[in-house]
Structure 1
Amino acid sequence: MNASAPETATASATEIVLPGIVEPAGLEVRVRPAPEPAAGEVLVAVEASGISFAEQQMRRGKYYDQPAFPFVPGYDLVGTVVRVGPGGDAALVGRRFAALTKVGGWASLVALPVAALVEVPEGIDPAEAETVVVNGITAWQMLHRIARVRRGQTVLVHGANGGVGSTLVQLATHAGVRVIGTAAPRHHDAVRALGAIPLDYRDADLPASVRALAPNGVDAVFDHIGGAGIADSFGLLARGGTLVSYGTAATKNEPGSSRLPVFKLLGRLLWWHLLPNGRRTHFYNIWAGKRRPANFRNRLRADLTEVFALLDTGAITAQVAARIPLGRAAEALALAESGTVTGKVVLTSDTP
């Protein structure tokens, strides 16, 4: 018999389904039997799941390796274990964990492998913890494992008001790094409060504005935009600097293959990387190394634990743009795509 919490007698789960290429209003709310955890799995009552840029691409059919429609989106989640699979550790029941899922997180109950869980410190609110799961792992790894920033350096963060961007700014500032952050003017006060020097991303001569602040170039650029502007990002690097590309937002509304823009970007990055100019390029993929599951999970757990510790002590703060119940996911996705918010829109449990 599976161990379970007394209050989890529910026989059904609510989930948000992406049926095809639709506007946010086309998301569907469905109810199905609650999943049953298998051996090595637990059943998690989801308290918070985020809306990231990945889901925005998925609804357009533009995410590189998204599953076939229909499916349940949800790149990450935070929730409490309510049941363990056969032979599982009953001591896990009642404890709060985070998990990186890629899909499936927009649901009230989710079965997850125990190996995928990262414990959330008791003092952290679940919605706040959720904002630094995929965003925190991404930002930490790009800063410390790829760019290897050092105190006193200067970096450029595009989209400094976004979910990843706002986390990047805080982690870099905490590491003693000077940050220049691009955003729309309406977000400049928020970006400044995070510790960055804000610049208007629509500035016709943005490279000149960056050069005025960093005459010798910046030590790293974090670019989720891709497209033609990636050349400017590379050109702003100081010798020894690193361009970290982690998306192709500029092409999200272009028709055609979801893979072609990625292949084009990878080709440019590889060419620049091979040039004898003392500058490095890297395309960041959070799932890199997954073919060695134990190493992948250990690295992910170690990095997210570092970020949770900073959040727990107040060294960084959660940027929750809005908390919206799961059943109103269409409204939440539209808000996340509006470009009017700072931080991350979080889907929360429909019941307290």
Structure 2
Amino acid sequence: MRALVMSEPSAGSDRTAVRDIDVPRPGPGEVSIDVAHAGINFIDVMARRGDPGYASSWPYVPGLEVSGTVREVGPGVSGVLAGERVAAFTRGGGFAEVAVADAALVVPVPETVPTAVAAAAPLMLATALLLLTDVARVQPGETVLMQAAGGGVGSAVAQLVPVLGGGLRIGTVGRAAKVAAAREQGWDVALVRDADLVAGIRSAAPAGVDVVLDPAGTTLLDVDLDVAAPGARIVLFGNPGGGTPDPLPPLGRLIGGNVALAGFSISRLTATAPARVSGALRRVVELLADKRLDVAITEVATLAAVPEVHQRLAESRGSGKYVVALQ
């Protein structure tokens, strides 16, 4: 079968190519899926760079979210049937014609939800939902700020905030050319991360922001704290630059500001609390089926085109959510 294979770590796409590999078989508690679409994510870039903990071994087939049809059910699996239309988290291997997933992380997808959209549900939509509900616990009318809001998770957050009853949505982007796209994704206010960022956020939300979602490691944490309202929740959920993040702020700054600081990792949650993750995936699929949630995606036609998308993401040139067609 065809698969996208990273032969060894690299800063570029020179070690990534489409190859023929063996078709995987599901083990106990697993299913195999004939992949229709697979989601493309920045976490693939982190694996490509060789950041610790992202590629299980080399050569490595990336891809952590797929949609398609169940091909084969492994021993001990119940509640998932061969031929069923599904979306799933994978532990890698998603950029292939056949992928294997833990049955606990597979959910059914109704015919009314296109497979291209369903492929964006696990890492993009379920992550956004868990960030807002389980971690930040957004309340009706609350203001939500998201740093680096131009990507897939950012677009999902922008769409989910009003569904959950939230209030003003403020998103930040890396350069002025991305402001219009962020507004199209649903952000009420889109600001460039420059020297005037704190002033811009305070102008939009004079009383401060209630929820801050920050995928930029700790590089923007001072900004987050400067604009946080009393009782705000700041959620850190990424380290895109790799390496060791800067130290967290002194405890006195959190106590004095009545601010809560939390961390989130969807990959760790899939390993430690799969029921919570699959529950979030089921909910976003239901929202898609009910037309209460509508997210824009960019569909890439072939596996061979994925390395260029990875490079766009690596250079912060991407916008919104990308998925690749396998069928």
Per the TM superposition, whether the score is higher than 0.5 is: yes
The code of the aligned residue for 1:298 comes to: A
**Secondary structure, in 3 states, of the residue corresponding to 2:50?**
coil
CA deviations over 1:243-296 (Å, ceiling 9, x no partner): 1111122x24xxxxx4x22xx4xx40684786353100011111445565xxx2
**Secondary structure, in 3 states, of the residue corresponding to 1:172?**
helix
Measured in 2, the distance between the counterparts of 1:88 and 1:278 equals 46
- Check if 1:182 corresponds to 2:172: yes
Q: Which residue of 1 aligns with 2:127?
A: 138
Question: What CA RMSD, in Å, does the superposition of the two structures yield over aligned residues?
Answer: 2.4
Q: 2:298 aligns with which of 293, 317, 321?
A: 321
Q: Which residue of 1 aligns with 2:219?
A: 228
- Correspondences of 1:273-292 after superposition (within 5 Å): 275-289=255-269, 292=272
Q: Which residue of 2 aligns with 1:20?
A: 8
Shift, 1:17, TM fit: 1.4
Question: 5+ unaligned residues in a row in structure 2: which ranges?
Answer: none
Measured in 2, the distance between the counterparts of 1:200 and 1:121 equals 37
Q: Which residue of 2 aligns with 1:77?
A: 66
Aligned CA distance change for structure 1 residues 204 and 124 (closer, same or farther; 3 Å): same
CA deviations over 1:313-352 (Å, ceiling 9, x no partner): 2222222123231233223323444534431111211x4x
The code of the aligned residue for 1:62 comes to: D
Alpha-carbon contact 2:217-2:238 (below 8 Å) kept: yes
Q: Tell me which moved more, 82-91 or 237-246.
A: 82-91
Shift, 1:43, TM fit: 2.1
Alpha-carbon contact 1:320-1:343 (below 8 Å) kept: yes
**Secondary structure, in 3 states, of the residue corresponding to 2:43?**
helix
Q: Which residue of 2 aligns with 1:200?
A: 191
Aligned CA distance change for structure 1 residues 120 and 91 (closer, same or farther; 3 Å): closer
Q: Which residue of 2 aligns with 1:8?
A: none
Shift, 1:308, TM fit: 1.2
Question: 5+ unaligned residues in a row in structure 1: which ranges?
Answer: 1-12, 253-257
Q: Which residue of 2 aligns with 1:306?
A: 283
Q: Which residue of 1 aligns with 2:102?
A: 113
- Check if 1:37 corresponds to 2:26: yes
Task: Name the TM-score, length of structure 2 as normaliser.
Answer: 0.90
**Secondary structure, in 3 states, of the residue corresponding to 1:33?**
coil
Measured in 1, the distance between the counterparts of 2:253 and 2:271 equals 25
Shift, 1:188, TM fit: 2.6
- Give the greater-gyration-radius structure (CA): 1
Q: Tell me which moved more, 63-72 or 92-101.
A: 63-72
Aligned CA distance change for structure 1 residues 210 and 87 (closer, same or farther; 3 Å): closer
Measured in 2, the distance between the counterparts of 1:131 and 1:291 equals 20
The code of the aligned residue for 2:5 comes to: V
Shift, 1:134, TM fit: 0.6
Task: Name the TM-score, length of structure 1 as normaliser.
Answer: 0.84
Aligned CA distance change for structure 1 residues 86 and 247 (closer, same or farther; 3 Å): closer
Shift, 1:139, TM fit: 0.7
Q: Which residue of 2 aligns with 1:67?
A: 56
Q: Which residue of 2 aligns with 1:9?
A: none
- Check if 1:244 corresponds to 2:235: yes
Shift, 1:168, TM fit: 0.7
**Secondary structure, in 3 states, of the residue corresponding to 1:180?**
strand
Aligned CA distance change for structure 1 residues 270 and 286 (closer, same or farther; 3 Å): farther
Measured in 1, the distance between the counterparts of 2:224 and 2:115 equals 35
Alpha-carbon contact 1:270-1:281 (below 8 Å) kept: no
Alpha-carbon contact 2:155-2:186 (below 8 Å) kept: no
